[in-house]
Amino acid sequence: MQARGPLMIEHRLIERMILIIQNALAQIESARKVDPLFVDTAIDFIRTYADRTHHGKEEDILFRNLSSRSLSAEDQGVMKELLEDHVFGRQTTKALVEANTRYRNGDESALADIVIKLQTLVEFYPKHIEKEDKIFFPASRSYFTDEEDQSMLAEFWAFDRKMIHEKYKSVVEVTESKATEGRVKMKQNDRKYLNNMLEMSREAMELVQNKAREDLDRDKQLTLSLLKYLEMIGSAASRISRECQNGCEPIPWGQVTEMKQQVVHTYWDIDLDWIWEKMEKDLPALSKAMEILLS
Ligand SMILES: [Fe+2]
Ligand SMILES: [Fe+2]
């Protein structure tokens, strides 16, 4: 795994919490009230996991190591923006804590502030994450040799040992389950197709364990197997009832069913980066969502 691997895995968990907040916002706005305990949970996740654990690693290890390199003006500029983003995230969370305290103490006018701050976080995090995943992390890799990259990865693991990933993973899972509880209506075959999708996703991810994107250039058998898996997952998804799909919004059903069309109609021209993104990013998130749905 490259050093950026753990950071990108953490991004996926942060995205899941952001989605929970986004879904909760609609309810908060229509009910005109909020459960302060829910806001506490969101604050705790953002402060401890997204900020201390995740931004902590970025700032104390990646950015610190980069500051000793001759960064291009462009990369220097992006790193400065990311640091400013982190500060903005902290300030927004601090204001959210204050608004939640006011609300808990009976000040109903604080509800509007809570909504604005949660909305700000929902808009801020995906943009920040995209900037890192797509622009900054790939660019920063070129400043390190393979050995340096691996030693940074070791530093990340050491940093993480002090943290409590599992706790926050389960916070997200429990909150997600509560959000879908009693909401998902499954028809007779839905569970069967969901189990198929989960099984195929796991098998596909197993094939790329300890592999890198470059392996797809070399190993045609592997590429074809992965394409077949993506086609089958898309095909199973298209058979799931509309009621079940509507009840489980965290799964991007359109994108999942589209995978089949993309593989079948353009397999001779398929982009290997697209396949790799599915393996590295989309299937792990999809599997988690299906595990929760099936639990
Ligand atoms: Fe960041
Ligand atoms: Fe990040």
Centre of ligand 1 from the C-alpha of residue 132, in Å: 7
Kindly compute the dihedral angle of the four CA atoms of residues 50, 55, 60, 66, in this order, to the nearest 10 degrees. 150
Token code pair at residue 87 = 């500060």
pLDDT in tens, 11-58: 999 999 999 999 999 999 888 999 999 999 999 899 888 998 899 889
- The Cα 209–Cα 265 span in angstroms is 27
pLDDT at residue 139 greater than cutoff 80: yes
Q: Which long-range contacts (CB under 8 A, 24 or more apart) does 69-73 make?
A: 69/143, 71/143
- The Cα 34–Cα 217 span in angstroms is 51
pLDDT-based confidence at 167, cuts 50/70/90?
low
Query: Which CATH architecture does the domain made up of 4-180 adopt?
Result: Up-down Bundle (1.20)
Centre of ligand 2 from the C-alpha of residue 273, in Å: 21
Centre of ligand 1 from the C-alpha of residue 50, in Å: 9
Torsion 109-110-111-115 (CA) sign = positive
Question: Is residue 220 within 8 Å of residue 279, measured between CB atoms?
Answer: no
CB-based burial label for 290 (10 Å; 0-12, 13-18, 19+): buried
pLDDT in tens, 168-185: 776 777 677 666 655 667
